[in-house]
Structure 1
Amino acid sequence: MASVASQVILHPVVSQSVKVAATTVGRDKLYRAVQYFARFLAWFLGARGYKIQAARWNALKSHLALGRKLMRLGKPVENLQGALRAFYGSSPAAEQILTIAKQLSYFGYLSHDALVWANTVKFFNLAPSTAARVNKTANRFWLSGILLSILHGLLKAGRLANEAKRLQDSQVWVGKGSEVNIDGQLQALNAERYATRHQFVIDLLDVWIPAASLGLVVLNEGLLGLFGLITSLMAFRQQWTKVNGGK
């Protein structure tokens, strides 16, 4: 019995899961996945008349959302650092400007989100109208950040595709000694293209969440929950690969 327990507890997948959960990003994406699954399930149960069960999942969703706000309290500083690094970076001008604008938008979103958290836990009290305005401003910044990220992804994907084509064409003209170097560049370029497409898909799904909160589109809670669940799992898998070296 002890042997079976040790095999389960010390299984490589369990060890890898602990490593991912030990990171702030890993925990956040895991909590986010549960939060949006709860959002979907609360809608699903409520639509079928199971009000008590729906209320239980809705409460879980609300508490996880509040807990994630607490985890992100220092995050705006990272966005400022990201904007500064982009300013001093060597990316093409259009991509550089979009990156800076995106990071500043996320700074605005998370800063206002921190005020929402402080008001919710009664650290200080805002008038209902002020609290609603702060929450709406946070969603506006969030939406603008995602839209800027989508535009950035389109420009970057186009640039990377052109660079890959140039490298592939150059293989025809180079000698054998240079083939290894070009193959290495192509692998690095393809990895960057994959990461860009991965983030682009996440943005295309996530953009509907703040858009719906602002009343710009009308989508039910179940669909928004599914969108959030999918993007959370995609981001969690990305963190898993990063922490566990691609395993």
Structure 2
Amino acid sequence: MRRSRRRTGSDAAVPGSVPGPAMEAWVRFSAQSQARERLLRAAQYACVLAGAALSRSGGSSGTLSRLQHLEAHLSLGRKLLRLGGSAEALGGAQRSLHLPDPVLRFCLTLSHLNRALFLACDNVLWAGRSGVLPGLATDKWSQRAFRYYLFALLVNLSRDAYEVRLLLERAEAARRRGRSPESSAGPRAEGRMQRLRLQLQLQLRLLLQVLRDNPPLLLDLLRNACDLVIPLERLGLCRSSPAVVGFCGLSSSVLSILTILHPWLKLKP
């Protein structure tokens, strides 16, 4: 005679059970080397931001020293995860050569090439700071790497501006098609400055609408703008406080993590 067995709460969580959607998303996320590098980057700039806050509030020198050491270790760990990334960047440059749009083809190819050079310098820096190349001039290689990084970001921002211009032109054309002839004439009694102000307001509303309707473009624009602060400060082209650098680095890292968790938020191509 078969005896029935009542399921308990512990039975539902037996080993080998199917994980939930959140656990599956975390497993997929943590399995990617880029995702792990982004997490380390977020932690690194969180240390920079925390150190700036502690130094402003008069924190102990021991705590600040520990944060600086942790930041240095996180930076070295990120460099280790980026070993071999130049080959991936070169592959991206090769793929972007086949894009039909000439502006996108130029911007993306140039961005991938500069990222490949930046990662190559970054690999040399890892070898120097890890002791593989003890006599390496790390300051020189760091400046060289940040120059390539800065140029890649400027090209990325140019690509974002081109995408915004295309979308603004389409939105303006759609607005004109939906406008009646009476409204297109507009009031003729308005002054020149008032008409200019109304035109600027209209362009601003169109810009906000375009960015709101295109989250991937908005996130890419914000991420590149935040990242731009870092090489500008490291190269001495724009002096900013460690708090600003930490906040911008942390913000761009969080935005990058969002695009990895939700691939539809990544700007394509």
Q: Deviations over 1:49-69 (max 9, x none)?
A: 321111112111111110010
Q: Deviations over 1:116-175 (max 9, x none)?
A: 100001111234xx321111000000011001100111002222343466678889xxxx
Do structure 1's residue 209 and structure 2's residue 230 form an aligned pair? yes
Q: CA deviation at 1:2?
A: 7.1
For the structure 1 residues 94 and 10, does the alpha-carbon distance in structure 2 shift closer, same or farther, using more than 3 Å as the test? closer
Which structure's CA Rg is the greater one? 2
For the structure 1 residues 12 and 3, does the alpha-carbon distance in structure 2 shift closer, same or farther, using more than 3 Å as the test? farther
For 1:41, the aligned partner's letter is A
Q: Which has the higher contact order (CA 8 A, sep 6+)?
A: 1
Q: Name the residue aligned to 1:175.
A: none
Cα separation, 2, equivalents of 1:72 and 1:25:
8
Structure with a larger share of its residues in helix? 1
Cα separation, 1, equivalents of 2:165 and 2:84:
34
Q: Name the residue aligned to 2:166.
A: 159
For the structure 1 residues 57 and 4, does the alpha-carbon distance in structure 2 shift closer, same or farther, using more than 3 Å as the test? farther
For the structure 1 residues 90 and 167, does the alpha-carbon distance in structure 2 shift closer, same or farther, using more than 3 Å as the test? farther
Q: Name the residue aligned to 2:104.
A: 95
> What count of residue pairs does the alignment treat as equivalent?
223
Q: Name the residue aligned to 1:242.
A: 263
Do structure 1's residue 18 and structure 2's residue 27 form an aligned pair? yes
Q: Deviations over 1:29-50 (max 9, x none)?
A: 1111111101111222233232
Which of 129, 142, 146 is the equivalent residue of 1:139? 146
Q: Deviations over 1:167-214 (max 9, x none)?
A: 78889xxxxxxxxxxxxxxxxx99993212211110011101011000
Cα separation, 2, equivalents of 1:4 and 1:25:
36
What is the TM-score with the length of structure 1 in the denominator? 0.80
Cα separation, 2, equivalents of 1:168 and 1:81:
40
Q: Name the residue aligned to 1:69.
A: 79
Q: What is the Cα-based RMSD across aligned positions, in Å?
A: 2.9
Preserved CA contact (<8 Å) 2:211 2:217? no
Higher mean alpha-carbon deviation, 103-112 vs 151-160, is at 151-160
Aligned-pair identity (%): 23
What is the TM-score with the length of structure 2 in the denominator? 0.74
For 1:108, the aligned partner's letter is L
Do structure 1's residue 45 and structure 2's residue 54 form an aligned pair? yes
Cα separation, 2, equivalents of 1:205 and 1:213:
14
Preserved CA contact (<8 Å) 1:212 1:218? yes
Q: Name the residue aligned to 1:28.
A: 37
Preserved CA contact (<8 Å) 1:26 1:236? yes
Cα separation, 2, equivalents of 1:138 and 1:192:
35
Q: Name the residue aligned to 1:184.
A: none
Which of 97, 109, 113 is the equivalent residue of 1:104? 113
Q: CA deviation at 1:100?
A: 1.2
Preserved CA contact (<8 Å) 2:41 2:250? yes
Preserved CA contact (<8 Å) 1:37 1:226? yes
Which of 95, 117, 120 is the equivalent residue of 2:126? 117
Preserved CA contact (<8 Å) 2:44 2:71? yes
Preserved CA contact (<8 Å) 1:37 1:229? yes
Cα separation, 1, equivalents of 2:166 and 2:135:
46
5+ residue gaps, structure 2, are 1-7, 179-209, 265-269
